[in-house]
Copies of this chain bind each other. A is one copy, B any other.
Amino acid sequence: MSPTLHSYLEEKTLYIEKHLQGLLEREGVPGSLYESMAYSLMAGGKRLRPMLVLAVLEALDKPLERGIPYAAALEMIHTYSLIHDDLPAMDDDDLRRGKPTNHKVYGEATAILAGDALLTRAFGLIAEAYSNHPEVKPETVVSLIAELAKRAGARGMVGGQMADIEGEGKQLSLEELEYIHRHKTGDLLIAALIGGGYLAEATESQMAALARYGRMIGLAFQIQDDILNVEGDAVQLGKAVGSDADRKKATYPSLLGMDESKQRLLQLVSDAKGVLRDVGLGNSALIPLADYVIERKK
């Protein structure tokens, strides 16, 4: 990773995390529920979805603070999905980002409720917070919520997780695998980019480019995840490696082979950058962020 990208990521992560916890409701919330929500929300992570929102605003010369409520909502939804995915009835994971998973610390019932509350708060936050941003019209707020619900729901992220669970232990085709990843991982990245586009008043062609870029880096992200599950380092990753093979899970390396997977990864990232250059966004942080998807070790 270049030193510039490294310091960019660090600075933006700090900026995001400075706001994140304060945007949870605390007053009137049972203490254990609040703690469980904050535990997972503040457990680190790449903050990639918020980062993408801010990068779109930056690329279009708009104030970053305008992106904060929507960026935080995305991170809350991403966090809830991890809490629920880790549950014993789902992936049954004990470790996430190097720490015990939510239900290991707070118990299953609290983990389920913390996920539900984070998901609910995400929508409430968007609806509430933009009343302090007169430059963001109510029509835009409604569009943000519609986009986020579509990408996070039954046709999006939740649908992808469902297909993933149903596919476990089965021989999947590449098409089926791509369906899973397009929705499970890709849709929320697209929601970050499209929502950022709404907030930054992007043109129609820029919106289309942001969505295409999102779809490509979403797929690249997942291929890299699969590769790291084979070649990565458990300490850096904060979770076990080799677990996909143990579970006989279909992955890009298992379906395409490692070389072909790596080649596809490079192609996707190169295409994603090309799409942005075509609409005048070639000088933005979105370009190194696409590289980051491949270069990351966790």
Is A32 part of the contact surface with B, judged by Cβ < 8 Å?
yes
Residue of A27, A119, A125, A161 most packed against chain B (CB within 10 A)? A119
Q: A121: nearest residue on chain B (CB-CB)?
A: B153
* Contact partners of A112 in chain B: CB under 8 A: 84, 87, 89-90, 112
Segment touching B, from A56-64, A162-170, A253-261, A281-289: A162-170
* Contact partners of A113 in chain B: CB under 8 A: 84, 158, 161-162, 165
Residue of A90, A126, A154 most packed against chain B (CB within 10 A)? A154
User: Closest CB-CB distance, A229 to chain B, in whole Å?
Assistant: 21
Interface of A is mostly: helix
* Contact partners of A32 in chain B: CB under 8 A: 162, 166
Q: A28 to B154: give the CA distance in the assembly, Å.
A: 8
* Contact partners of A128 in chain B: CB under 8 A: 146, 149
Q: A30: nearest residue on chain B (CB-CB)?
A: B162
Contact of A154 among B117, B126, B152 (CB under 8 A): B117
Q: List 21 A-B contacts (CB under 8 A).
A: A30-B154, A30-B159, A32-B166, A33-B154, A80-B116, A109-B165, A113-B158, A113-B162, A115-B116, A116-B119, A116-B158, A117-B153, A121-B153, A124-B145, A124-B153, A126-B145, A138-B139, A138-B142, A141-B142, A142-B142, A145-B145
